[in-house]
Amino acid sequence: MSAAAIDISGTHPGSGSGNDDLQLTENLEELASEWTQLESAGIGNPYHGFLWCKAFQNTLGTAERSRPLIALLRSAGRPVLLLPLSLFTKNGVRVLTFLGARIGNQNTGLWDKAYYEAVGPEAIRDVLHQLCQKSNADCIDLQNVPCQWNGRPHPLVLGNAQLSPNPLYRGSVTGTFEDVFKTLHSKSARKNLTRKQRHLQDAGGYEIRVCQQPAEIEAGLEAFLEQREARAQITGVPNAFSSPEAKAFLRQATQSPALSVTPNKMSAPLKIWTLSVSTQIRATYMCARDGGTLHAYSNSVAHDEFLKNSPGLVLIREIVEKICADPDTKTLDLGIGEEHYKTSWTRPEPMCDSRYSRTARGKIYSAVQTAKTRLKSRIRNSDRLWPMIKKLRQMRASGN
């Protein structure tokens, strides 16, 4: 398939129209205007935004030789669904997955709100079948899709869905900060965190900043990268941002592009929050916004003399306090993967993995992936195996 678009027209059951068409293209720029229009006016998540996907494909995607395949469904000429996908071949099986899924926190697609509320399972299966057929894919692997999303079961959660190994952590921030803090933290926990914040403030040069200027962004990014690498050396947890391509991705994702490449004048997908003490950045958090949700994407903390006062936890407290005061922010999303700091502010929501197979080879691939997901879930949820894996990582990092 060339980079030129493929148009496939026909009636989609449940869509209520015979004027629907599905366009596939490898060229992200070709759909930029409708993509950003749907991103601004519809519902979705920042990890499927145009600038995010473009930053990924320009860096990590190119290094991995990822073949993008962007699918746009129109109804009566109006965009109603966009799925940013990637096509790869593994052991002779051609598989469609979400573009950049390994560095995103969840996968939802971008939807016109009215279409999302009305679409039925037959229409979605028809779209997925056509995606596989026209791209010559054996199957489509839809991982980390919220089971419930925007008031209904997510349409991409199919009948064969299984729970993903890790849940998503989300919570409401519609009340005052005092109410949210009191509801989610015990009296002793509130006192302890407030005490740590005060110790950091007393050290001098205490500042919370959302980096805006290029020099600020670069300083925040450098601190994040250094702190993440130090953490990997101490804990043995792999650093997802250690490669040159990953660093280049973050630089593109945190810097606002020229208006000429953003039809709807969209800003950089990621903003860097920093906590500084004594003129040095001691903690960072990269965040993205989508509608009324703040997505806290990835964080870091300096392993220095201030670590005992938990600057990372204090920064999250500051972020929550500021978004509670913002009437446009309703939800805090801390992404997938269980961490103690996440459970202190949010609650787990299940995610699902679904697979649609078009061929016999696709069915075999899906069966293998389903078994792998089941095994990962058993390990991740085991009170014996998961602590053992974390201990082995630490031992390997320390050289023991």
Q: pLDDT, tens digit, for every residue of 312-326?
A: 999 999 999 999 999
Shared domain for 212 and 159, answered yes or no, is no
Angle (nearest 5°) at CA 393 between 222 and 253: 30
Tell me, yes or no, whether 6 lies in a domain.
no
pLDDT average, residue stretch 157-164: 94
Report pLDDT for 376.
Answer: 74
Q: Is residue 8 scored above 50 in pLDDT?
A: no
Residue closest to 35 by CA, chosen among 322, 190, 256, 264:
264
Report pLDDT for 386.
Answer: 57
Lowest mean per-residue pLDDT among 2-16, 168-182, 238-252, 340-354: 2-16
Report pLDDT for 125.
Answer: 95
Shared domain for 147 and 219, answered yes or no, is no
Range of the domain at 316: 174-256+266-329
Shared domain for 85 and 224, answered yes or no, is no
How far apart, in whole angstroms, are the C-alpha atoms of residue 196 and residue 191? 9
Tell me, yes or no, whether 295 lies in a domain.
yes
The H-or-E segment that residue 298 falls in is strand 293-301
Report pLDDT for 238.
Answer: 83
CB 340 within 8 A of CB 193: no
CB atoms within 10 A of CB 116: 22
**Domains of the chain: total:** 2
Query: pLDDT band at 399, cuts 50/70/90?
Result: low
Q: Is residue 130 scored above 90 in pLDDT?
A: yes
Shared domain for 317 and 355, answered yes or no, is no
Shared domain for 227 and 302, answered yes or no, is yes
Shared domain for 77 and 209, answered yes or no, is no
* pTM score of the predicted model: 0.88
Residue closest to 35 by CA, chosen among 13, 57, 61:
57
pLDDT average, residue stretch 245-268: 77
Shared domain for 191 and 71, answered yes or no, is no
Shared domain for 154 and 186, answered yes or no, is no
Q: Which residue has the tokens 């499927």?
A: 48
Shared domain for 370 and 317, answered yes or no, is no
State the CATH number of the domain containing residue 86.
3.40.630
Helix (H, G, I), strand (E, B) or coil at 141: strand
Q: Is residue 383 scored above 90 in pLDDT?
A: no
CB 173 within 8 A of CB 323: yes
pLDDT average, residue stretch 105-134: 96
State the CATH number of the domain containing residue 308.
3.40.630.30
Positive or negative, the Cα torsion across 256, 257, 263, 265? positive
Query: pLDDT band at 394, cuts 50/70/90?
Result: low
Shared domain for 95 and 45, answered yes or no, is yes
- State percent of the chain over pLDDT 70: 88
Tell me, yes or no, whether 32 lies in a domain.
yes
Shared domain for 325 and 217, answered yes or no, is yes
Lowest mean per-residue pLDDT among 2-11, 52-61, 289-298, 301-310: 2-11
Residue closest to 281 by CA, chosen among 335, 194, 200, 339:
200
